Amino acid sequence: MAIDSRYRMSQERLEELKNELEYLQTVREKEVSEQIKEARSFGDLSENSEYDEAKTEQGKLYSKIAEIKDLIENAVILEASHSGGQAVTMGSRVTVREQSDDETETYEIVGSQEANPMQGRISDESPLGRSLIGHKKGDMVVFEAPMGVLHYEIVEIEN
């Protein structure tokens, strides 16, 4: 079974990752190198906690750089499709009303790399995101969530 290692994201997120990678490979890498150099100057490396901490920091940095490179190399740019506001697509802002409490909430449908439910950005791969895609204003969507089966009505769509 092949594992799909592509990461769906917007062009903006890809640019953020590229900028972060550049910062880590230039500014941050020099800072860590300086920490190691300074720690070496303290003498015996076998009992040098500053050196150990600097090397640990370097390992974390290289791990983060590798992670970001992987995200960039396997990025799939998702374009917000414009359906004239008729149906929910990637990039849509969707206002939904939960049937059980009549509360409304607005979510933006984004790729998994940009999801941040606390900011109202949900992944198209999440249970709610997946159930909203393709539906229109007035449609009822039912989906399984960790807290049980939820029923939402689509109140508004902005594409």
Same domain assignment for residues 100 and 46: no
How many domains in the chain?
2
In a domain, 47, yes or no: yes
- What is the predicted pLDDT for the residue at 41? 85
Q: Which residue has the tokens 């940009």?
A: 114
In a domain, 106, yes or no: yes
36: domain CATH number is 1.10.287.180
pTM of the entire structure? 0.65
CB atoms within 10 A of CB 80: 14
- What is the predicted pLDDT for the residue at 75? 86
- What is the predicted pLDDT for the residue at 2? 43
In a domain, 82, yes or no: no
Same domain assignment for residues 104 and 134: yes
Backbone angles phi, psi at 141, to 5 degrees: -120, 140
Same domain assignment for residues 51 and 97: no
In the chain (159 residues long), the average pLDDT of successive 10-residue segments reads 66 90 96 91 79 92 94 80 70 90 90 88 91 93 89 91
- What is the predicted pLDDT for the residue at 59? 95
In a domain, 86, yes or no: no
Same domain assignment for residues 43 and 71: yes
In a domain, 43, yes or no: yes
Same domain assignment for residues 121 and 60: no
Domain that holds residue 141: 93-158
In a domain, 48, yes or no: yes
Angle between helices 49-73 and 29-40 (to 10 degrees): 160
Domain boundary among the residues 19, 48, 77 is at 77
CA-only gyration radius of the chain, Å: 22
- What is the predicted pLDDT for the residue at 58? 95
In a domain, 46, yes or no: yes
DSSP string covering the chain, please? ------EEE-HHHHHHHHHHHHHIIIIIHHHHHHHHHHHHTTS-GGG-HHHHHHHHHHHHHHHHHHHHHHHHHTEEEPPPP--TTSB--TT-EEEEEETTT--EEEEEEE-TTT-BGGGTEEETTSHHHHHHTT-BTT-EEEEEETTEEEEEEEEEEE-
- What is the predicted pLDDT for the residue at 1? 40
